[in-house]
């Protein structure tokens, strides 16, 4: 149960991203600064935490030994996740972007065959390729239906081009985040904790954020003081607190693809948290009936996912598996 609680807490702090990104867009801030400033401001906070835990040396050594994987999966897990998400904030309210983002739950299930599960055999533990969690995927379709219902309501008031610009970047982010996170767990192999992993991925992706910030400075000038302050809040709440909580939750269930998908499903709580935040902070009007219906389906899908993951697990019998013993 603890991984699910951690996941729900992470979804609360992740919701700050959707609310404040929308606030920055409404006030005239550019998405480039919303994206790059978050990760630039995360560095000093994470450095202090990791240094206080005396784990910086081990992290830098690990990154030095595996530079390629750190660079590639950090780019996918952080840059291809957050830059598109920030871009999409210009094309819909935060709660709608948060709702569409829940496609990541389905993405997490579809990515299972790309990874391995560890099972015990009479000859020792072995890694076998994961199988699509068919039942979990069917439950995920409830979430997808909810996203579709919300988008249909929103589509009545915008053009088709705006609708696609608000959806396609979020879909890209929804696949990039779990892919980068899971691949980094494989690279770290339990040698790096959640704090180190977030800092390492932030440092590895830093060149891209600096390039993006330089481009932003060239085309729109420096960010405003208001956008800078809001970016600091996003960096601490979503970038540090939420990401560490979420990574800690996924670390607890690594090697169990069903429960990993359930932890990822807790992120659907962001929809309600983002809606509440926009109503309280931005005085956003409440959604129409069908949007509420869509949100209900999203949350229902999350609950079903969590209940399914905590049911009795079938025993895994290892046969002649070709993977090597690890």
- The residues near 302 (Cβ < 8 Å, ≥ 6 apart) are 102, 105, 143, 265, 266, 268, 269
Collapsed DSSP state (helix, strand, coil) of residue 14:
helix
Q: How far is CA 116 from CA 106, 120, 158, in A?
A: 18, 13, 43
pLDDT tens digits for range 188-236: 988 999 899 999 999 999 999 999 999 999 999 999 999 999 999 999 9
> How is the chain split among helix, strand and coil, in percent rounded to 5?
80, 5, 20
Strands (E) in the chain, as ranges, are: 116-119, 126-129
Provide the domain limits for residue 20.
2-309
Q: Is residue 273 part of a domain?
A: yes
What value, to the nearest 5°, has the Cα angle with vertex 38 and ends 202 and 274? Answer: 120
Q: What total of structural domains would you count in the chain?
A: 1
Q: Is there a domain that residue 321 lies in?
A: no
Summarize pLDDT for 105-162 with one digit per residue, the tens: 788 878 887 776 666 667 666 667 767 777 777 877 888 888 888 878 777 777 888 8
Q: Is the pTM of this model over 0.85?
A: no
Whether residue 219 lies inside any domain: the answer is: yes
Cross-strand bridge partners of residue 325: 126
Helix, strand, or coil (residue 304): helix
Residue 220 in domain: yes
Residue at 320 is within a domain: no
| Eight-state DSSP code of residue 30 | -
> Both tokens of residue 293?
């219906």
Identify whether 251 is part of a domain: yes
Whether 244 is in a domain gets the answer yes
Can you tell me the distance from the alpha carbon of 147 to that of 223, in angstroms, rounded to the nearest whole number? 33
Q: What percent of the chain has pLDDT over 70?
A: 89
> Does 324 fall in a domain?
no
């Amino acid at each position: 149960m603890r991984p699910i609680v951690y996941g729900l807490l992470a979804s609360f702090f992740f919701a700050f991203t959707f609310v404040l990104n929308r606030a920055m867009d409404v006030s005239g801030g550019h998405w480039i600064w919303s994206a790059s400033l978050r990760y630039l401001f995360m560095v000093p906070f994470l450095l202090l935490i990791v240094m206080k835990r005396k784990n910086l040396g081990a992290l830098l050594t690990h990154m030095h030994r595996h530079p390629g994987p750190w660079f590639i999966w950090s780019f996918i897990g952080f840059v291809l996740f957050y830059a598109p998400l920030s871009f999409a904030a210009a094309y819909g309210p935060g709660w709608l972007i948060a709702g569409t983002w829940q496609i990541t739950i389905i993405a997490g299930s579809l990515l299972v065959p790309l990874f391995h599960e560890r099972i015990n055999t009479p000859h020792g533990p072995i890694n076998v390729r994961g199988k699509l969690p068919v039942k979990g995927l069917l439950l995920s379709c409830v979430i997808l239906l909810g996203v579709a219902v919300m988008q249909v309501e929103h589509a009545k008031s915008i053009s088709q081009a705006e609708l696609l610009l608000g959806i396609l970047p979020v879909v890209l982010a929804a696949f990039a985040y779990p892919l980068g996170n899971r691949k980094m767990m494989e690279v770290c192999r339990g040698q790096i904790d959640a704090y180190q992993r977030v800092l390492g991925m932030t440092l590895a992706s830093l060149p891209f954020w600096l390039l993006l910030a330089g481009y932003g400075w060239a085309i729109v000038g420096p960010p405003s003081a208001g956008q800078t302050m809001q970016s600091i809040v996003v960096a601490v709440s979503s970038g540090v607190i939420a990401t560490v909580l979420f990574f800690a939750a996924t670390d607890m269930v690594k090697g169990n693809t069903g429960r990993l998908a359930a932890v990822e499903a807790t992120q659907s709580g962001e929809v309600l948290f983002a809606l509440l935040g926009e109503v309280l902070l931005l005085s956003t009007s409440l959604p129409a009936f069908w949007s509420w219906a869509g949100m209900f389906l999203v949350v229902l899908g999350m609950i079903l996912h969590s209940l399914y993951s905590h049911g009795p697990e079938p025993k895994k019998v290892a046969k002649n598996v070709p993977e090597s013993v690890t």
